[in-house]
């Protein structure tokens, strides 16, 4: 039986964001040490780091933007485009490696060499627009991976973004594309201010975007219903051939950046819903990538349950 691909690599701990930045190195150190303590890496297949080619990135980002990101980091800039998107000299390279490695993981699942996978990487990607860095994100890894799957002949890709923040970058990159369905459940009002229910796609992409805004204070029931009802019904209609998850864990009750009340256990249930959607429509093909999650303990515990649920299924 094909194995489970796990990306967890010290390289992604070399993206330094400065003191007191919520998107910090310790996030991944905690996830990695928790995985190691639980013996998770031994049960998974490692995925080699791959640097995304300019061709891969340019499917979803402007070439000038890609080069500008590298140039800003090389110059020693401390932030790129927006004051919250802190960078160090290596950040563009590391983000590019995150995109490329996610592409590699998805290709292995598509080729049947791996059954499913999870990528614990940073910086995150879902706020990155075609030509704008924002919300701690430089390159939009899940978008790069979805575009690569499409280029490799996958006809319909479903992206489920359950990060507590709306995945504005991913939505905007694909909002005219009928073959990449974007689902996002997220707190409203909250950064970045987009993701209203009325945003359903543009032009040929009309109907291939589904936003489920959740009020502050919403808990497991609303979070899981958005997936088990909204996403499940959309998937039935869309018939994806591959399912990607932008897995942020900042809807957790303990998270300092948002006000939802989701439990660790609910992320296990959410994982089961995504697995059943992938099994039903996409031959089980499911790859998840880390986005946000800023309470270190909640992030580590939720990520561990997410992966262990996928390993057990
Ligand atoms: Zn987030």
> Residues 75-119: pLDDT tens digits?
999 999 999 999 999 999 999 999 999 999 999 999 999 999 999
Q: What's the pTM value of the predicted model, to 2 decimals?
A: 0.98
Does position 243 have pLDDT exceeding 70, yes or no?
yes
Distance 165 CA to ligand 1 centre (A): 4
Mean pLDDT of 9-31: 97
State residue 313's pLDDT score: 85
Confidence of residue 2 (pLDDT cuts 50, 70, 90): confident
Q: How far is the CA of 194 from the centre of ligand 1 (A)?
A: 13
List pLDDT tens digits, range 151-189: 999 999 999 999 999 999 999 999 999 999 999 999 999
Instruction: Report, as an integer, the average pLDDT of 3-13.
Output: 97
Q: Separation of 292 CA from ligand 1 center, angstroms?
A: 4
**pLDDT level of residue 280 (50, 70, 90 thresholds):** very high
The position carrying tokens 């590391």 is: 94
Residues 6+ apart with CB under 8 A from 286: 109, 116, 117, 243, 244, 245, 274, 275, 278, 310
How many whole angstroms from 113 Cα to the centroid of ligand 1? 31
- Cβ(203)–Cβ(178) below 8 Å: no
Please tell me the predicted confidence (pLDDT) of residue 251. Answer: 98
Average the pLDDT over 117-129 and give the result. 98
Does 1 have pLDDT greater than 60?
Answer: no
Among residues 296, 300, 288, 309, which one has the least CA distance to residue 116? 288
pLDDT tens digits along 195-208: 999 999 999 999 99
Separation of 164 CA from ligand 1 center, angstroms?
5
| Sheet of 3-8, strands arranged across | 45-46, 3-8, 114-120, 286-290, 242-247, 157-161, 180-187, 209-214
Provide, rounded to the nearest whole percent, the portion of the chain with pLDDT above 90. 99
Question: Percent of the chain beyond pLDDT 70?
Answer: 100
Q: Give me the residue spans of the domains in the chain.
A: 3-312
State the catalytic residue, choosing from 15, 81, 126, 127: 127
Nearest to 264 by CA among 225, 220, 294: 220
User: Average per-residue pLDDT in the chain?
Assistant: 98
What spacing in Å lies between the alpha carbon of 251 and ligand 1's midpoint? 8
How far apart CA 64 and CA 284 sit, in angstroms, is 37
Catalytic residue at 127? yes
Pick the CATH number of 3-312 from 3.30.460.10, 3.40.800.20, 3.40.50.620, 3.30.360.10: 3.40.800.20
């Amino acid at each position: 039986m094909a194995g489970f691909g796990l990306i967890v690599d010290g390289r992604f701990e070399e993206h330094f964001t400065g003191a007191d930045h919520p998107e910090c190195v310790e996030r991944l150190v905690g996830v990695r040490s928790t995985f190691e303590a639980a013996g998770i890496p031994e049960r998974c297949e490692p995925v080699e780091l791959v640097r995304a080619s300019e061709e891969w990135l340019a499917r979803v980002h402007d070439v000038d933007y890609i080069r500008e990101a590298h140039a800003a980091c090389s110059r020693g800039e401390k932030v790129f485009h927006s004051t919250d998107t802190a960078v160090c000299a290596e950040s563009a390279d590391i983000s590019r490696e995150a995109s490329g490695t996610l592409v590699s993981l998805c290709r292995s699942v598509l080729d049947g060499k791996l059954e499913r996978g999870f990528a614990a990487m940073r910086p995150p990607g879902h706020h990155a627009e075609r030509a704008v860095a924002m919300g701690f994100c430089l390159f939009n890894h899940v978008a790069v991976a979805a575009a690569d799957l499409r280029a490799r002949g996958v006809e319909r890709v479903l992206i489920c973004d359950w990060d507590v923040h709306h995945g504005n970058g991913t939505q905007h990159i694909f909002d005219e594309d009928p073959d990449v369905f974007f689902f996002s459940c997220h707190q409203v009002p909250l950064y970045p201010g987009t993701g209203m229910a009325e945003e359903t796609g543009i032009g040929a992409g009309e109907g291939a975007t589904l936003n489920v805004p959740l009020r502050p204070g919403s808990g497991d029931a609303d979070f899981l219903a958005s997936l088990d009802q909204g996403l499940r019904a959309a998937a039935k209609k869309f018939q994806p051939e591959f399912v990607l998850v932008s897995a942020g864990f900042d809807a957790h009750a303990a998270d300092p950046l948002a006000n939802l009340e989701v439990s660790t256990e609910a992320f296990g249930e959410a994982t089961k819903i995504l697995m059943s959607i992938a099994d039903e429509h996409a031959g089980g093909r499911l790859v998840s990538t880390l986005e946000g999650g800023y309470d270190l303990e909640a992030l580590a515990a939720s990520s561990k349950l997410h992966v262990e649920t996928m390993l057990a299924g």
